Amino acid sequence: EKAALEAYRGKETVTGDGEKVLLVANIGNPDDANVAAEHDAEGVGLFRSEFLFMDAKELPTEDEQFAAYQKVALRMKDEPVIIRTLDVGGDKEIPYLNLQKEDNPFMGFRAVRYCLNNPEQYKVQLTALLRASAFGDVKIMLPLVTTLDEVRQAKALVEECKKELDERGVAYNKDIEVGTMIETPAASLIADDLAEECDFFSIGTNDLIGYTMCADRGNDRVSYLYTVYQPAVLRSLKRIIETGRAKGIMVGMCGEAAADPLLIPVLLSFGLNEFSVSAPSILRTRKIISEWSKEEADALTEKVMKCKTATEVKVMLQAAQK
């Protein structure tokens, strides 16, 4: 099987009828960029920047952050590198930030909420990202967005940082793209408005499934609910992807579901343009994408979207597996 996958190394990622799809990697630290490149990733679809913060004893400085982001940008040459701003809270704790204990941290003061409430601290990260954009195709991505205001506020901070870099005479990409994760039901429901303000979407199914189904991924007793095959989740994915594409922006997916072999034809049928997966899943994902024509994927997806239960969906996808 490994040898069969090696045939896909160095190849473009295209569907059965030759449509180009971007196949990129999720990484957690700058060294992972080497692993991604070794596995033939066409860029980085999610750099989880919180690991820089979690591995430190205090806030990483602008220069420290810049060095990490620049390293990934340089390693990926001209390929896209999507770096997500600090996604603190929920399952990701950073002791030195001294955040208050909350009864329900997954619904609390976290991610972009925390960052926008600490704009001076957020600007350090945004400035470091802008500086790195002079060395590659760096894009900024916002985590856990639920409102249009959050995107507008973050973009306003990016503009402030650009002005300050101009004053400092430091180079950056003036057209840097700013996009958002779609990983909450709220973001899914307002995807049309978000698309007006965002250069791209990346769907975070890990959180989207949990928040849509009200089911914690770590809780065995509700794991039957925590699945991408739930019709509620599939309808949300369809809506996000079709809305983003209709508005003319790139729609990717960086949650685990992007690497699910069974789901790939459905995502292709919805119009997903970018799959961001762990490095070891790259070649297998490229192979499966190449096996599906639009016509076949559409026919399967039409049947899948008529299923009433997750079990029916899964059985149908398994039967269709190549």
Q: Catalytic amino acids?
A: 254
Residue 146 as a binder of ligand PEP (CB under 6 A): the answer is: no
Q: Which helix (H) or strand (E) holds 200?
A: strand 200-203
Instruction: Count how many residues are written for the chain.
Output: 322
Other beta carbons within 10 angstroms of residue 288's beta carbon come to 22
In sequence order, which residues have a C-beta less than 8 Å from that of residue 312 and are 6 or more positions away?
none
> Closer to ligand PEP at the Cβ: 129 or 161?
129
State the chain's maximal CA–CA distance in angstroms.
Answer: 60
Among 48, 71, 238, 284, binds ligand PEP (CB under 6 A): 48
Binding status of residue 45 toward ligand PEP by CB under 6 A: no
Q: How far apart are CA 198 and CA 179, in angstroms?
A: 5
Q: Does 204 sit near Mg ion (CB under 5 A)?
A: yes
Residue 274 interacts with ligand PEP (CB under 6 A)?
Answer: no
102 Ramachandran zone, left/alpha/beta (phi>0; psi -120 to 50): beta
Tokens of 36: 């991604």
- In the bound state with ligand PEP, the residue whose beta carbon lies nearer, of 216 and 291, is 216
On whether 168 is known to bind a ligand per the annotation, the reply is no
User: What values do phi and psi take at 230, rounded to 5?
Assistant: -65, 130
Choose between 25 and 320: whose C-beta lies nearer to ligand PEP. Answer: 25
**Min separation Cβ 45 and ligand PEP, Å:** 9
**Interaction pattern, residues 206-235, with Mg ion; x per rule: CB under 5 A:** -x----------------------------
Among 255, 266, 278, 288, binds ligand PEP (CB under 6 A): 255
Beta-carbon neighbour count of residue 256 at 10 Å? 17
Region class of 248: left (phi > 0), else alpha (psi between -120 and 50), else beta: left
Integer angstrom CA distances of residue 308 from 132, 190, 199: 47, 25, 34
Q: Total binding residues for ligand PEP by CB under 6 A?
A: 10
**Binding-site residue total for Mg ion (CB under 5 A)?**
3
Which of 204, 265 has the CB closer to ligand PEP?
Answer: 204
Is 183 a binding residue for ligand PEP by CB under 6 A? The answer is yes
Q: Which does 205 bind (CB under 5 to 8 A by kind): ligand PEP, Mg ion, none?
A: ligand PEP
Taking CA atoms, 194 is separated from 111, 135, 224, in Å, by 17, 28, 31
Q: Which residues bind ligand PEP (CB under 6 A)?
A: 46, 48, 87, 183, 204-207, 254-255
Name the residues that contact Mg ion, by CB under 5 A: 183, 204, 207
- For the annotated binding site for phosphoenolpyruvate, the residues are 48, 84, 206-207, 217
User: Annotated binding residues, as ranges?
Assistant: 48, 84, 183, 206-207, 217
